[in-house]
Structure 1
Amino acid sequence: MSNVEAIIFDLWQTLIFDNRELGRDRTRLRIEGASRVLSRAGYNFTYEHLRESFRNCYRICHAKHDIGEDYSFDEQVRIFINCIEDGLLKSLDQTYIDKINYHYAEAFFDFLPPVDPDALDLLNILNKEGYKIGLISNTGMTPGRLFRRYMEDLGILKFFDVLTFSDEVGLTKPSKEIFDITIEQLGVPRDKVVHVGDHIVNDVVGAHNADVRVILVGSAQGKEAIEKPEVHVDRLRDVQYALKILPEKY
């Protein structure tokens, strides 16, 4: 039986599930919102131009993620504006920048990723069993503050002792440092911590970089040659079982 005192969860594709269609719809809303704001400010850019600017912003942010770091959400929006036209950020009134920021963020709530149907029950059980519970998320195009709102709406925010969002700490998985920050805030020795996630690199490699055991959830079968988790289960609900068979940390 494992000796676990704290469990850290991934968010995307572990507790909530996104897909390309939802992502495309959010992107469309972000671009349309920016277009309306810029039009009111006296700038007229085609949808295609704004879409390519958004893609360029994504590439810049992704390159940052590749070195284990992240931009704040406000920085990401400023990068997007600069990608539209050199000097645009300096010439825009802050009111318009704030409105673009708003549309960029709030698109998340127009196309919400569904929560795993077993998440609420699982977190409730783990909380009652006395585990400390944390979360680490690479936030992507949505700020951590909106994830908190959504988690509150879902009724799961109350179960978390620590929330670590990449846009707020400037770090991304699989960097060791983002795990270190979370473990320190949980106040539990890392040999008593387990991480639960779906991604071989971000979650398994990342947790192992921080010397933390991993329960891999979902359809990553066959990719384990990259880095093998301590336990691999098919569904989130199976985490309870996985905790019982998780090998001790020596």
Structure 2
Amino acid sequence: MIRGITFDCWGTLMDAKYTYAAQRIAYLGERLPGLPYDDITRAYRHGESQIAQIEDWGMGWSTTSVLSLTLDALGVSLSPRDFADTVRYWEEAVLDDPPPLLEGIPEVLEILRSRGLSLGVICDTGLSPGHVLRRVLAQRDILHYFEHCTFSNETGVNKRRPLAFLLTLKALRFRPARLCMWAIRQIPIFVAPIRRACAQCFFFKTRNKARVSPWPIWCWSEFVICQNAFRSGEQPSPCCNPAHCIGENSKHSTSQ
């Protein structure tokens, strides 16, 4: 019997196309008068690329790291007050224009919770840390559906390491062997750590239609339909693909 479902945040609950780089670069530029915008942009991108190496190691990181790497690339510094203000703005930029939820998310969460399932979030945070993303989820009125949220900036590890999933299972009061569903966007990267954390699990790929998972879904209505099929606790067969059953481009109410 499936007891719990965890969700990725970006590209699964919320639209991942939103980026706040331009706002962050502009804000930093106001505190570095005389420096060309293009130079600040290159330094910002350089900081991001260095952080990507840390992510590859499976480590979490903070906004202060990206800002420090950006300033280091520029060969300049900020006053302590400007540094703190810039970190705060970079972290909270998402609050000025929050990304929309993917279509059907509130209805799906309501259905799943009404069935007694425990729901959690596991998110690699980026420049918007956990305390800010909780505010975004609360603004979108879905935070209350989740019993626990695991954010990489708070744990120090990202989803490339099993601990991110083990911490969530522990918070949801599940043993690692418990059957659990993981709704995530980048399945190839995270299959190994998830399977090391949870002996019985299967995945639903969201948003991206690349067929890297035996059980991809193309929209959240299909997630509910597919979850209905597994309520008895049966392990899905590798050939199970909801798109084959209901049509890849069909639109269904999530109440179905």
TM-score w.r.t. length of structure 1: 0.84
Q: Give the drift of 1:166.
A: 1.2
SS of structure 2 residue aligned to 1:194: strand
CA-to-aligned-CA distance 1:101-132 (integer Å, 9 cap, x gap): 12212322334322112111111121121111
Is the Cα–Cα contact under 8 Å of residues 215 and 242 in structure 1 kept in the other structure? no
Q: 1:148 Cα deviation (Å)?
A: 0.8
Distance 1:198 1:165, change over 3 A: same
Partner of 2:186: 199
Counterpart of 1:245? 229
CA shift in 2, pair 1:203/1:121, >3 Å: farther
SS at match of 1:17: coil
Matched, 1:170 2:156: yes
| Contact 2:208/2:218 (8 A) holds in 1 | yes
For structure 1, list consecutive stretches of 5 or more residues without a partner in the other structure. none
Which residue of the partner structure matches residue 254 of structure 2? none
Please name the residue that 2:21 is paired with: 27
Conserved? CA contact 2:165–2:197, under 8 Å: yes
Q: 2:6 aligns with which of 8, 25, 48?
A: 8
- 1:38 matches 2:32: yes
SS in structure 2 of the partner of residue 71 of structure 1: coil
Alpha-carbon distance change, 13 to 177 in structure 1, aligned in 2, over 3 angstroms: same
1:109 corresponding residue in structure 2: 95
Match of 2:203 among 187, 191, 214: 214
C-alpha change, 1:172 and 1:135, in structure 2 (3 Å) is same
Task: Count residues in correspondence.
Answer: 230
Task: Report if the CA contact (8 A) 1:134-1:186 is conserved.
Answer: yes
Name 1:236's counterpart in structure 2.
Answer: 220
- Could you tell me which amino acid in structure 2 is paired with residue 200 of structure 1? I
Q: In structure 2, what residue type is equivalent to 1:17? A: D
Determine if contact 1:14/1:217 at 8 Å carries over to the other structure. Answer: yes
Q: What are the residue-to-residue correspondences of 1:128-207 with 2, within 5 Å?
A: 128-190=114-176, 191-207=178-194
Question: Which structure would you say has the larger RCO, counting Cα contacts within 8 Å and 6 or more residues apart?
Answer: 1
- Partner of residue 240, structure 2: none
Cα distance, 1:242 vs structure 2: 2.0
Write the distance in 2 (CA, Å) between the matches of 1:218 and 1:29: 26
- Between the aligned residues of both structures, percent identity stands at 21
RMSD: 2.0
AA aligned opposite 1:27? A
C-alpha contact 1:10 1:136 (8 A) present in aligned 2: yes
SS at match of 1:134: strand
* Equivalent of 2:109 in 123, 129, 133: 123
Whole-angstrom CA distance in 1 between matches of 2:92 and 2:32: 17
